[in-house]
A = this chain, B = another copy of it.
Amino acid sequence: MQNFVFHNPTKIIFGRKTVPSVGAETAALGKKALLVYGQSSIKQSGLYDQVMSSLAEVGVTVIEHGGTRSNPLLDHVRAGIAKVKKEQVEVIVAVGGGSVIDTAKAIAAGAVVEHDVWKFFIGKKSIKAALPVLTVLTLAAAGSEMNSGMVITNQDTQEKFGFGHRLLFPKISILDPEVTFTVPPDYTAYGAVDAIAHVLEFYMTTQDTDTPVQARFIEGLILDAMESCDRCLADSNDYGGRANLMWTATLALNGLTAAGLGRVGFPMHMIEHSLSALYDVPHGAGLSVVMPGWLQWYLEQNAAPARITQLGRGILPPAEQQELAGESDTVIAERTIAFLRTWFSKVKSPVSLAELDIPAGDIPRIAENALGLAKVWRLKQYTQEVVEDILQRCA
């Protein structure tokens, strides 16, 4: 196990009917709030009214900042920062999924400096302070509600960049699984795919495999994501399914699954970010295209596919394990990749560029875009040629 520091100060308030706690919790952080949210869905569902009345009850003044879209945009962040500065907002309340929460974090950091917020993303400036952020989660996916990361797309440069900082942990996150009853099947699946992608990156890219504690935790979370997603797709109002999916996605990226693994990379996310930036593909949909292709490439690169085989022993169903007894590591690894791909297809998350209507001829362009992030994320081995090679397997 590698040395690590783990310090996650986010307070999670989880469960049924927890949304009305937003008022009192916000009031403890500030008297004037910027309310960040996305499209009309929270108004239709009644969540918006619930939050607004809870904030009004405790006398918190609300400045609205709606309209956050998925793959959230830098301009929208900048507009939020302008509002915070003008109105002297004290606390940011994010009501939404990862895009809304990431926007809130970027505003929280950008509002306390004079320079442009994008300088944080390109490594020209570092965060020294941030306003407090409280979240009300509406989508089980990104894990941003309990971590210090954020991802924003610069619409001018078509760059989707992300990073983390200890001052970006939300102070409080309210997770009511009932809020996600209205999430449609496609986005429910994309969320589960996202959670799987997060832990799979850690699992596959760590150089230290003497970390069985983390490996078992991750294998469990992958199965949790699949099972709970299946339940939500079968019955959108299955509370247990929604609750298990929500908590799985949060745990997948709250720092624990990676603690002790040393340096890990996000090569699959890197490639997916290009798909999102260039084609505005939903993040999870892009990930389910990239993951099997990346794993296949990894398997071909590595004479010893031991890590994928280990994953298979952790997640393949007992009957399939039995059937595979005596088979080579490569066969088990291939079955493991097929197992994931098949499940992605089953939940209708795409597994090829073609399904996203992206022609194979675009591969060089996608790879080129990915290289910008490869530099920032220090994924040096991912050259234009390598990324194209991977993308060929995703075509």
Contacts and interface: CB of A to CB of B under 8 A. Distances in A.
Interface string A1-36: 111111111111111101000000000000000000
A14 B322 CA distance: 38
Contacts of A321: 318
Interface residues of A, number: 44
Nearest to A260: B247
A228 interface: yes
Contact of A1 (B4, B216, B243, B256): B243
A2 to B, nearest CB: 7
Interface stretch (A54-62, A69-77, A154-162, A219-227): A219-227
Contact of A244 (B2, B211, B248): B211
A191 B281 CA distance: 49
Nearest to A15: B3
A220 B216 contact: yes
B1 A213 contact: no
A356 interface: no
A217 interface: yes
Interface in A300-322: 318, 321-322
A370 interface: no
A212 interface: yes
Nearest to A3: B15
A4 B9 contact: no
